[in-house]
Amino acid sequence: MVRPRWRLATLIPLAVTAATVVLTARPIESNETDPHGPPGAQCAGTAGECVGENELPPQFDAMDRPADDEGETSSSSEDDDEGKRGEEGPSSGPSAAATAEYESSTGSDLFGSKPSNGEPRESRTLFELWSNLRCNDVFKTERPIPTKELFSGAIGLYNSIQDDPKLRIEKKGAGGIFVELEVRQAGDKGRGIFALEDIPKGARWRSSYDFTAMFYHPNHYRSFLLGLERGTACDVMQWAYAEWVCLAFLFVFYLDIASESDLTRYTRKDAVTDEAYIGVDLDEATMCNDGGEGSNVGCDEEDPDMDCMAYHYAMRDIKKGEEILCDYAWHSGSAWDETVWKWKLDPVHEKTSLTKRLRRFAARVRRRTSKIRRKLLSKREASVGN
């Protein structure tokens, strides 16, 4: 399959409030269709064009590289290395021992302050990080099935990076998956998940976000990726998705001024901010392939018996042995573009742009909050009068 925001003690109180609001927000599904293909998708759904794990994810491959801050087209150091190798002639290739050591290296080992060639390889965007990790090479061979220990380690790393306790993943005894399933190879699609029991229509099959790592801050996401083994980091970048922070969640979970049902009446479901986040599920559900219109799990927001903020459901009867297929259409293509190309993995850029972004966002939140409060108070006064 594929946001931490920032805190600065020196900002004005309003800006600090806005930062906290963003950090405590939780996402809701968007109806926006990704024009470039769903983030990390392995199949293009109704188009029937599958992209296996051996290929660059479509969200990277299908987009032109934009100009960077200096007006130059972004390029990866991997491309530079290939050009140099072409000038110097064919290479004898790495030894088996060197290859094994490279595969087991973490991102930090690969991008340390003293790289082997003496030249630091700077990843200014997520696209460049993908390229510098040489993730294309990782997916040239069949990827192993992730173990529970691997997911547990990734959750521990995420919790150590995530400074907001509300966004940390709490390990629950029952886990985030409520049906019996197994992960196995699914042909050209790479890995997939398959039912080990019949799942009736309408049954909850997983929690929506209990085991989802959310990154609102570019450098938190970068630190997470570079703390993983190289192959796992590439897996995460393929599994990840992006969404916009939704206003409804700011009001329900942070401001605590309304119930969910109230907000569905007074705010549009697709009312979002211009603050993007990256999410990745850190359990077996992350390997759910895209089924497009043929998907068999998801959620219907119009069904009063379904709580789409908390659970995903079987949308039809699923037979034992059948592959569980998700619908990637709700992932946001514009949010993905924002994170892949505009998130700067550079503290200097962050410091120069953060204050303006927070002040602008704080003003919008304050205006929207006042409007919602007035409507809710009017509704409550009317109900008391009756």
Return the percentage of the chain with pLDDT > 90, whole number: 30
- pLDDT value of residue 336: 82
pLDDT in tens, 61-117: 433 333 333 333 333 344 444 444 444 343 334 344 444 444 455 555 554 433 444
pLDDT score, position 381: 79
Q: Give the torsion through C-alpha atoms of 90, 96, 101, 103, to 10 deg.
A: 80
Nearest residue to 4 (alpha-carbon basis) of 176, 228, 245, 209: 245
**What proportion of the chain, given as a percentage, has pLDDT over 70?**
54
Positive or negative: CA dihedral 237, 340, 308, 377: positive
106-157, pLDDT tens digit by residue? 555 554 433 444 444 566 788 888 999 999 999 999 999 999 999 999 999 9
Q: Is the pTM of this model over 0.85?
A: no
